[in-house]
Amino acid sequence: MHVVVQGYWPRVLDKHGFEQDEIVELCKGRNKGIASTRENCYGWHGPWQDPSGWQQISDACVGISVEYGKAMGLEEGEPVTPVSLNSDYMTGVAVVVGILCVLMRWADRGGSYKVNLALNYYNQWLVRSVGWKKLWKRNRRVVFRAEHNMSYTIPKVMGMLKQNSGKVVFNPAFFEDRKSEAMAADARTVKPVIRFQGGEVELGYHVGTRGNGVDQVRWLEDLMTEIVR
């Protein structure tokens, strides 16, 4: 099965013949099937499905920012921009989970599939499911305010994590140094989470971290080899 993943401005690919249903129809009859996956900010139904947006907008839209402020004991609904459980990163994780579910279903039934995710979908689940007050109380209750941006809050939260959960979160066994030829430096990153016994499959990354403007806009012929220009 082939997987198409895109997060462009909603509908921008439609005019080029790559609307989600058209992608599935284009590949109709292939014995491999295809999964068309897309994500946006507000969701894929209703009057807000077309505008673009990003994490902090979705956080405010769904109520995450207000709940974050309540967890800190702030009065009168003062919102605070969340530092952790970011909807932009976690929606991407949800996309990967959706693709894995599709691949397992395709292996059993065949066919083609559509996967639609949104920051608001993730945030709605989050605001209903996470015990904000218990989480913040367990981590020493640092209080932020509405005017604090992430340049201020992230260092504070990282310090809090190191103090309260450093042996778990920053366990050296969870990380590895990966050489980036493009940046002429080593980057310390999280190791692959899954491990297979017996060494038959060894997960890893063949291409190091790459900065903006390193690569030309083109399809790579070999994804297993790092190219440095």
Strand 185-190 vs strand 175-180: parallel, antiparallel, or unpaired?
antiparallel
Residue 146 has pLDDT above 80, yes or no: yes
Which pLDDT value is given to residue 198? 77
pLDDT per residue as tens digits for the range 147-199: 998 889 889 888 888 888 888 889 999 998 888 777 778 888 888 877 777 77
Name residue, tokens 């099965």: 1
What domains are there in the chain, each with its CATH number?
A: 2-130 (3.40.50.10540)
* Cα-Cα end-to-end distance for the chain: 32
Q: Which is more confident, 168 or 223?
A: 168
CA distances from 40 to 5, 6, 51, 52, 68 (A): 12, 9, 9, 7, 23
Residue 116 has pLDDT above 90, yes or no: yes
Rounded distance, CA 219 to CA 200, Å?
Answer: 29
Average pLDDT, the chain: 84
Q: Where are the beta strands (DSSP E) in the chain?
A: 2-6, 34-40, 113-118, 175-180, 185-190
DSSP 175: E
pTM assigned to the model: 0.75
Reported confidence tier of residue 131, pLDDT bands at 50, 70, 90 = low
pLDDT per residue as tens digits for the range 91-111: 999 999 999 999 999 989 888
Determine the average pLDDT of the residues in 34-46: 91
pLDDT per residue as tens digits for the range 55-72: 989 999 998 898 888 888
